[in-house]
Amino acid sequence: MKIIMLGAPGAGKGTQAKLIAERYGIPHISTGDIFRANIKAGTPLGVKAKSFIDQGLLVPDELTLELIMDRFSAADCADGYVLDGFPRTLPQAEALAKSLLEKGEAIDFAIDVDVPDERIVNRMSGRRACLKCGGTYHVKYNPPAVDGVCDACGAELVLRDDDKPETVAKRLEVYHSLTQPLIEYYGNAGILKTVDGTQDVDKVFADIMAILD
């Protein structure tokens, strides 16, 4: 089963991708993980990707797709995978479909975890992070025992720049302009399934299972 996860930043698609991967015994593949693994291993593709990242540039679509298709050829992808973080744009989606078609393959499901922008801003701006041990909290959903203090190491908790309301709003703007067209693309392909991401994690997962099973 080959699955693509869609959804705005903070919608919870990464969490659901991990749960799906565990449930079906298939790998959860994120572009960030692929980049890091190839760079660490010093593969030819990793060296190319690092040259862009080191300059603060985005890795070109062609190279990203090459890395992803290389990952798909691994033995653990024989029964499928959950792809998280790619494609992000319509050209990427079209290029991925073409590359898979050349192998006689296709994506089975595109799962859109749908959460209104206002809910995402509230959700992400409530996050707090420990820069010392990496612990993460939420002022409402997962508060620390002592306000502003990490349970694990006692360090101060901070609101990361990425989670500030103005930053989240900008990320959502980019998402809607670039990634929203994928909803229409996969809808037209007949493989789009939408779930209500405002529910608790277990309910969202149950809804996804009802679709995949």
- Residues annotated as part of the active site: 13, 88, 127, 160, 171
Distance between CA 194 and CA 131 in Å, rounded?
35
**Biggest CA-to-CA distance, the chain:** 56
Q: Please check whether residue 130 is in contact with residue 155, taking contact to mean a CB–CB distance below 8 angstroms.
A: yes
Which residues are paired to 203 by β-bridges?
none
Q: From residue 113, how far is each of 7, 192, 207 by CA, in Å? A: 5, 11, 10
Q: At residue 145, what is the residue type?
A: A
Number of H helices, E strands in the chain: 9, 8
H or E, element range at 121: helix 117-125
- What residues contact 52, with CB distance under 8 A and at least 6 apart? 58, 59, 60, 63
Helix (H) or strand (E) holding 15, with range, is helix 13-24
